[in-house]
Amino acid sequence: MKKLFVLLLTSVLVLSSFTACGKEDGGNKLYVYNWGEYIDPAVLEMFEEETGIQVIYDEFETNESMYSKISAGASLYDLVCPSDYMISKMITEDLLQPINWDHVPNRIYIGEDYWEMSKGFDEEGQYALPYCWGTVGILYNTTLVSEPIDEWADLWDPQYTDEVLMQDSVRDAFMVALIKNGHSCNSQTTEELELAKQELINQKPIVQAYVVDQVRDKMIGGEAAIGVIYSGEAIYTQRENPDLEYVIPKEGSNLWIDSWVIPKNARNVENAEKFLDFLCRPDIALLNFDYITYSTPNVSAREMIEDEEIRNSEIAFPTLSNYNLEVYKYLGEETETIYNNFWKQVKAY
């Protein structure tokens, strides 16, 4: 009897400690889940000052870790900023709610091109507000290559043995091989994927390393001649090492967009809409562009960029019609498994 009482008492104590931390909730708040280093902290402060809404800001490092938190319902967020293919996956799984565009009047500052691109993963334009975008291309060191690089096939050139850096991510690696073969980077046919896998295995002796964020440092330091990189990083590396040149290969490439979405279980939808509207304001978008250095879809913000070189940079703002660019789509669980298995085979070969 006494033991039971003690057990009861402790459980009450533990439970009350939970509720204590839950109760303070409910004021004027907004829960935001974004990539690390993906917003100017000053923007958050300005928003809090102007609206009186307290922003609880959290960061993730990959689409996948974000997805596992959202789908498990571990934390309730009002706004999340995933990439294209992840958004289409979340739409298919009914994790998102449509945004009421009437409450986001500043969306008009987002260029028509980007809404069009968005339709690749958000067919009716209901769920996603474009935030940052870029291309995947080749960064090369002009002093270390014999002639200008302009196609993916150059990454297979034996004269650059041990000088090539590839991205250590399934989709990006397969995108390179698929597009080199003239296929879509959203390919679902096993033969095309098999072929791409074989290409990647053939390429292995030439590759120095599969890397994530070390491309920047390695290229700046001249440790490799050629690397696959995101356009947003290319501008930064060029600033540090003027010998570097960025090119979107002529076969085509991937265009990625990170967009804001509102999860189905969001509790402060109104505040989320206010925040989205705030982010679309050209002066705010400009602040974010300066901080993140990834291309902004906000046309008015782009016009306000003072540095002419950046405003008209073909890296930051390529003329989209000149290139054959494609957005990643969610390919379904089955195809995803094939990709992952093939990728494992490439890495283990």
Partner 1 sequence: MIYKSLKRIYIGLILLFLYAPIITLIVLSFNASKTRSKWGGFTFDWYIELFQNEEIMSALGNTLIVALLSALIATIFGLIGCVAMQQLGRKGRSLITGITNIPMLNAEIVTGISLMLLFLSIGNILGKIGVRFQLGFMTVLISHITFNIPYAILSILPRMKQLNPSVYEAALDLGATKFTAFRKVVLPDLLPGISSGFLMAFTMSIDDFIITHFTKGPGFDTLSTKIYTELRKGIKPEMYALSTIIFVVVFILLLLVNHTPKEPNKKR
Closest separation in Å from C-beta 31 to partner 1: 5
Angstrom distances, CA of residue 251 to CA of 227, 255, 256, 308: 17, 13, 17, 29
Q: Strand runs (DSSP E) across the chain, as ranges?
A: 29-35, 54-60, 79-80, 96-97, 129-141, 164-167, 207-211, 226-230, 244-247, 253-260, 262-263, 325-326
Which CB atom, from 178 or from 215, has the smaller least distance to partner 1? 215
Q: Can you list the alpha helix ranges (DSSP code H) found in 293-331?
A: 299-303, 308-311
Q: 57 or 115: whose CB is closer to partner 1? A: 57
Instruction: Give CA–CA dist 24/22, Å, rounded.
Output: 6
* Identity of the residue, 246 or 323, whose beta carbon is nearer to partner 1 in the bound complex: 246
Residue 148 or 221 having the CB closest to partner 1: 221
C-beta of 296 vs 300, nearer to partner 1: 296
Residue 86 to residue 330: CA distance in whole angstroms: 7
Cβ 190 vs Cβ 102: under 8 Å:
no
Shortest Å, Cβ 171 to partner 1: 15
Both structure tokens of 292: 């993140």
Please check whether residue 88 is in contact with residue 121, taking contact to mean a CB–CB distance below 8 angstroms. Answer: yes
Smallest separation (angstroms) from partner 1 to the CB of 111: 24
Q: Which is nearer to partner 1, 71 or 337 (CB)?
A: 71
CB of 212 to partner 1, least distance (A): 7
Q: How far is the CB of 23 from partner 1 (least distance, A)?
A: 7
| Residues near partner 1 (CB under 8 A) | 14-15, 17-23, 25-26, 31, 33, 35-38, 41, 56-62, 72-77, 212-213, 216-218, 220-223, 240-241, 292
Q: Supply the DSSP symbol for 1.
A: -
* Residue whose tokens read 């280093």: 37
DSSP three-state, residue 216: helix
CB of 166 to partner 1, least distance (A): 17
The tokens describing 107, both together, are: 């969306």
By beta-carbon proximity to partner 1, the closer residue of 77 and 133 is 77
Least spacing, CB of residue 59 vs partner 1, in Å:
4
